[in-house]
């Protein structure tokens, strides 16, 4: 097989899922965020993971041993999950492979400047694309074929938004090269997304993303089986497209090469299994490809618009509208659209996905006199201030409060430092606390899991230091867990309109408002400004008994500063901004186009489970 230098790997599989024995590939470990994007770990972390993998393929990797800011995170190699010990958040992880001559093999990192002035790296596949164009000395790179409305200018090192004409600085920096591996290389090693324990989110937005991605992959696979020719049967302009060999089905930069009639032949590919030679299959012209790709999850600050009119779709290509997503059938319409696209592609028919209707985010205008208090809930507003909640005592006292003595120490690993419990903690020499010896072991009183006390102190110091503790194994919470939500206001009232799926009930509207400000000591960058985009944010619940119960628990979560936090936005890539914190909210009032609306019969039960995972339960309402 002919591989493009600098591109990611695409392997012909012989039925066993392995490539030829003599291939050398660069290994990049990645984690899946809630928007379906695989985000790469740094090269240093990947080297550490590979070293642990060589010793124990079913072991656990402690990321904090390489990068201190990743201290709360571990990777379970057996289930291929990343686990955050202080919040209990689990995300799928995967082991991906690239050419040694590509960007990760050379230690090249491409980044764009966000609104706060810091630098955000591109996803690895996009980084590979940019580096490929840079090495070929292209003056610029048009990302339209990727579904982006951006133009990258290598001379001025800027990224320009074609719609707004806004420019952002771009930079290329050198870092440690990613680890190299040889021999039998699987296509990818990742947790099978789609199982109940592997999905990053159970909301319908993920169904929409995954089904559309599946349709996109099928479309590209179908296009590879066709040869695009120009007028009179002569070969025309060929656009070579590579499909990702991982779960994320995005397509990278597609360099074009003009082939004159009679002077050159299309690029050839030989099948290792049969020896048969096939032409390198081109994709459809760039405008068609951009309109048919999955634009729901794209790296960078802004997605390009989908095709809005039939006029931009090439003749003879049927359009598959992604619409009427609020239907009540047994199969979610977005999933049905993806399945239909796959079946049409299997029959050799190219498909273009047309633009979905706009979501209905807000109800009709409401007079203030029509807004009523929620029955059974005191007041209509809650405010939080800086350091609203009392902090715990010193770390040693907090840990000892929830621990019991162990008479017989078992000869097994401490899952925090991965050292044997019968030996000293892995944090010996790194962390020193009076009254706690490095070999002191105890068990948590409720769940009975055993750890080095020094390891629990280290884990506590990396959290919010609020007097609570969470077991890194079973996620049981000890004490009252609080978060790092910035100061703000939460309002709630009943409005005289009904939500889809609840025609007999009025609606509870929640309005969150958090202003921009300065980060405190509990935040990622103390003393630095943080932004607050999209506020006030409106959320909706049905005004029935279960909906009012959810509201009461959300008020408790708000008081404990658990609804929002400060971090990096998975939507825009902006850092030091206010983001949601693992508790899903419904932000669409009259539709469910993004998966964050109604009808959703499982939502109230799901959000109760998410609140419980944060330690917010009905027992807290009695206090």
pTM: 0.47
Position 15 pLDDT exceeds 80: no
Q: What is the pLDDT of residue 179?
A: 92
Pairing of strands 319-321, 352-354: parallel
Among the ranges given (28-42, 131-145, 255-269, 578-592), the one the predictor scored with the smallest mean pLDDT: 255-269
Residues 6+ apart with CB under 8 A from 467: 390, 391, 392, 393, 398, 479, 480
pLDDT tens for each residue of 515-544:
999 999 888 899 999 999 989 999 999 999
Strand partners, 392: none
Assess contact for 108 and 174: CB atoms under 8 A: yes
pLDDT of residue 384: 80
Q: What is the pLDDT of residues 551-604, one digit of tens each?
A: 999 999 999 999 999 998 877 788 899 999 989 999 999 988 878 899 999 999
Residues pairing with 32 in the sheet: 38
Rounded to the nearest angstrom, the gap between the alpha carbon of residue 260 and the centroid of all alpha carbons in its chain is 44
Position 154 scores a pLDDT of 92
| 590 neighbors 616 (Cβ within 8 angstroms) | no
| 3-state SS assignment for residue 452 | strand
Question: What span, in angstroms and rounded, lies between the C-alpha atoms of 534 and 521?
Answer: 24
Residue 287 or residue 92, greater confidence: 92
Q: How many of the other CB atoms lie within 10 Å of CB of 397?
A: 11
Answer whether residue 414 shows pLDDT above 50: yes
- Residue 504 — very low, low, confident or very high, per pLDDT cuts 50/70/90? very high
Show the tokens assigned to 467.
């007097």
Determine which of 32-46, 111-125, 175-189, 295-309 has the lowest per-residue pLDDT on average: 295-309
pLDDT digits (tens, 9 = 90+) for 439-466: 889 999 989 999 998 888 888 887 778 8
CA 133/CA 131 separation, integer angstroms = 5
Residue 178: strand pairing partners: none
H/E stretch holding 292 reads: helix 286-292
User: What are the C-alpha distances in Å from 280 to residues 237, 261, 271, 350?
Assistant: 13, 17, 11, 18
Residue 601, pLDDT score: 92
Residue 311 pLDDT level (bands cut at 50, 70, 90) = very low
Mean pLDDT of the chain: 74
Report pLDDT digits (tens) over 180-237: 988 665 544 544 333 333 444 545 444 444 444 454 455 445 544 444 444 444 444 3
**Could you give the CA distance from residue 12 to residue 10 in angstroms, rounded to a whole number?**
7
Give the number of other Cβ atoms within 10 Å of residue 430's Cβ.
Answer: 14
Residue 329 has pLDDT above 70, yes or no: no
What does 149-217 look like in DSSP terms, one character per residue?
A: -EEEETTTTEEEETTT--EEEEEEEE-PPPPEEESS-BS-EE--BTBTTT-S--SHHHHHHHHHHHHHH
Evaluate if residue 390 carries a pLDDT over 70: no
Residue 550 pLDDT: 96
d(CA 33, CA 589): 25
Is residue 326 over pLDDT 60?
no
Q: Specify the higher pLDDT residue, 612 or 190.
A: 612
**Beta strand ranges found along 329-440 (DSSP E):** 352-354, 381-384, 403-405
d(CA 456, CA 442): 10
103 backbone φψ class: left, alpha, beta (φ>0; ψ -120 to 50): alpha
Say yes or no to pLDDT of 163 above 70: yes
3 state DSSP class of 96: strand
Query: Distance between CA atoms of 126 and 298, rounded to whole angstroms?
Result: 10
Helices assigned H by DSSP within 323-437: 333-346, 395-401
In this predicted structure, what is the pLDDT of residue 465? 80
* Of residues 607, 604, 617, the one with CA closest to residue 584: 607
Place of tokens 């040889």: 182
Lowest mean pLDDT among 59-63, 333-337, 442-446, 605-609: 333-337
Tokens of 251: 């397509």
Residue 350 has pLDDT above 70, yes or no: no
Q: Flag the least confident range among 194-198, 366-370, 391-395, 498-502.
A: 194-198
| Tokens 């965020």 found at | 33
Contact 242, 8 (CB under 8 A): yes
If you ran DSSP here, which 8-state letter would residue 144 be given?
Answer: G
Q: What percent of the chain has pLDDT over 90?
A: 31
pLDDT at res. 521: 87
Q: Is 319 helix (H, G, I), strand (E, B) or coil?
A: strand
> Closest Cα to residue 483, out of 588, 567, 590, 378?
567
User: Phi and psi (nearest 5°) for 318?
Assistant: -70, 140
Residue pair 185/97 in contact (Cβ under 8 Å)? The answer is yes
Q: Which of 318, 321, 322, 323 is nearest to 351 (CA)?
A: 318
Contacts of 318 (CB under 8 A, 6+ apart): 344, 349, 350, 351, 352
* 109-118, 289-298, 533-542, range with the lowest pLDDT: 289-298
pLDDT of residue 184: 60
């Amino acid at each position: 097989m002919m591989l493009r230098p600098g591109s990611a790997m695409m392997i012909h599989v012989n039925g066993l899922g392995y490539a030829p024995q003599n291939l050398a590939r660069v290994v990049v470990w990645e984690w899946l965020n809630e928007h379906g994007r695989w985000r790469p770990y740094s090269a240093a972390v990947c080297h550490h993971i590979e070293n642990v993998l060589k010793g124990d393929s079913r072991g656990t990797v402690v990321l904090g041993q390489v990068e201190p800011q990743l201290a709360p995170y571990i990777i379970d190699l057996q289930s291929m999950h990343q686990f955050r010990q202080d919040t209990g958040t689990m995300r799928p992880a995967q082991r991906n492979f690239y050419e040694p001559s590509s960007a990760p093999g050379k230690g090249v990192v491409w980044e764009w400047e966000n609104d706060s002035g810091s630098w955000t790296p591109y996803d690895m596949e996009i980084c590979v694309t940019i580096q490929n164009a840079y090495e070929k000395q292209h003056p610029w790179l048009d990302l339209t074929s990727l579904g982006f409305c951006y133009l990258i200018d290598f001379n001025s090192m800027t990224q320009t938004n074609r719609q707004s004409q806004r420019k952002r600085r771009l930079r290329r920096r050198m870092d440690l090269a990613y680890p190299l591996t040889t021999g039998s290389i699987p296509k990818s090693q990742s947790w099978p997304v789609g199982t109940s324990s592997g999905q990053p989110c159970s909301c319908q937005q993920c169904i929409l993303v995954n089904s559309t991605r599946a349709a996109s992959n099928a479309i590209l696979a179908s296009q590879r089986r066709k040869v695009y020719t120009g007028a009179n049967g002569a070969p025309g302009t060929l656009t070579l497209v590579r499909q990702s060999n991982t779960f994320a089905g995005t397509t990278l930069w597609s360099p074009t090469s003009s082939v004159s009639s009679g002077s050159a032949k299309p690029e050839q590919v030989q099948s290792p299994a049969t020896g048969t030679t096939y032409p390198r299959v081109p994709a459809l012209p760039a405008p068609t490809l951009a309109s048919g790709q999955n634009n729901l999850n794209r790296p960078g600050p802004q997605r390009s618009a989908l095709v809005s009119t039939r006029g931009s779709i090439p003749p003879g290509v049927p359009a598959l509208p992604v619409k009427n997503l609020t239907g009540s059938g047994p199969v979610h319409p977005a999933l049905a659209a993806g399945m239909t696209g796959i079946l049409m592609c299997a029959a050799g028919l190219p498909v273009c996905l047309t633009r979905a209707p706009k979501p209905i985010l807000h109800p009709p205008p409401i007079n203030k006199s029509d807004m009523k208090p929620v029955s059974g809930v005191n007041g209509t507003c809650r405010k939080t201030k800086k350091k609203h909640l009392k902090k715990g005592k010193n770390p040693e006292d907090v840990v000892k409060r929830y621990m019991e003595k162990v008479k017989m120490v078992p000869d097994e690993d401490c899952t925090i430092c991965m050292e044997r419990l019968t030996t000293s903690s892995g944090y010996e020499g790194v962390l020193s606390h009076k009254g706690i010896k490095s070999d002191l072991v105890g068990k948590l009183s409720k769940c009975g899991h055993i750890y080095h006390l020094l390891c629990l102190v280290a884990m506590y110091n990396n959290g919010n230091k609020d007097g609570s503790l969470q077991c890194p194994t079973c996620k049981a919470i000890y004490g009252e867990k609080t978060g790092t939500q910035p100061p703000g206001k939460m309002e709630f009232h009943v409005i005289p309109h009904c939500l889809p799926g609840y025609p007999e009930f009025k609606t509870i509207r929640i309005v969150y408002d958090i202003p921009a400000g300065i980060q405190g000591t509990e935040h990622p960058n103390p003393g630095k400004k943080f932004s607050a985009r999209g506020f006030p944010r409106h959320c909706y619940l049905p005004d029935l008994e279960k909906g009012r119960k959810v509201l009461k628990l959300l008020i408790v979560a708000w008081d404990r500063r658990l609804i929002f936090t400060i971090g990096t936005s998975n939507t825009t890539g902006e850092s030091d901004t206010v983001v949601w914190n693992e508790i899903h909210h419904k932000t669409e009032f009259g539709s469910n186009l993004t998966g964050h609306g109604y009808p959703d019969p499982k939502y109230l039960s799901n959000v109760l489970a998410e609140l419980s995972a944060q330690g917010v339960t009905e027992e807290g309402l009695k206090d």
